[in-house]
Chain A
Amino acid sequence: GQQLNQSPQSMFIQEGEDVSMNCTSSSIFNTWLWYKQDPGEGPVLLIALYKAGELTSNGRLTAQFGITRKDSFLNISASIPSDVGIYFCAGQIQGAQKLVFGQGTRLTINP
């Protein structure tokens, strides 16, 4: 069954706005990853997090590994048109051998 709850499912924003999305679970995670998928392409890794409380940035993107190890968020500052796409969280549950993925957040930007 679904082990990751990603929200929101979709976002419609104006160019220049900041964006925030998150993933939560009832399970404890050892690793959190954030991916972006452009139309017609496979997901591409944006940020990887390995420790509870870790805050990592990649340009205008910032992600954090929640203190409880059961959640993570991704922020995008000053959005631009090329930020459009689907963002997926993913993580390795403690004791598991493969990643689990969230359902994705579809980001649409109005110019």
Chain B
Amino acid sequence: GAGVSQSPSNKVTEKGKDVELRCDPISGHTALYWYRQSLGQGLEFLIYFQGNSAPDKSGLPSDRFSAERTGGSVSTLTIQRTQQEDSAVYLCASSLEFWGRNGYTFGSGTRLTVV
């Protein structure tokens, strides 16, 4: 597509439930990134996929968080047993080059609220 597409745009879930957030990157972009942005805060790196290489999971805050990227395109970020502190905007980005020399293109994010 023309841009990075994320769904849903908003998600309200009960504490303890699992959620899945989807990212559809720009066609042809080999690198895909997930970031988390808490209210009024900066961008917290979560995970990075580059082609067929093993993902960089160094930013995942706990083992409740996982992500996969199927067929080198669509990615799903899964949060199990959600907690209130998981409430944030989850941003996905993609880039043509492996380290994004021309910057990342971000989606509009998924706003997750855990009640």
Q: Which residues of A contact B (CB under 8 A)?
A: 6, 31, 33, 35, 40-45, 48, 50, 88, 90, 92, 96-104, 106
Contact = CB atoms under 8 A, between A and B. Distances in A.
Majority secondary structure, B binding face:
loop
A99 B100 contact: yes
Given A97-B56, A103-B41, A103-B42, A92 B99 contact: yes
Contact of B43 (A40, A41, A88): A88
Nearest to A98: B48
A44 B56 CA distance: 23
Contacts of B1: none
A44 B42 contact: no
Interface residues of B, number: 25
B101 A92 contact: yes
Contact of B100 (A50, A98, A102, A104): A98
Q: 4 closest pairs, A vs B, by CB?
A: A42-B106, A103-B42, A45-B103, A101-B43
A42 B107 contact: yes
B42 A48 contact: no
B42 A88 contact: yes
B103 A33 contact: yes
Nearest to A93: B99
Nearest to B33: A98
Contacts of A97: 48, 50, 56, 98-99
Contacts of A6: 42
Given A42-B93, A90-B103, A92-B100, A101 B42 contact: yes
Contact of A104 (B42, B105, B107, B108): B42
B102 interface: yes
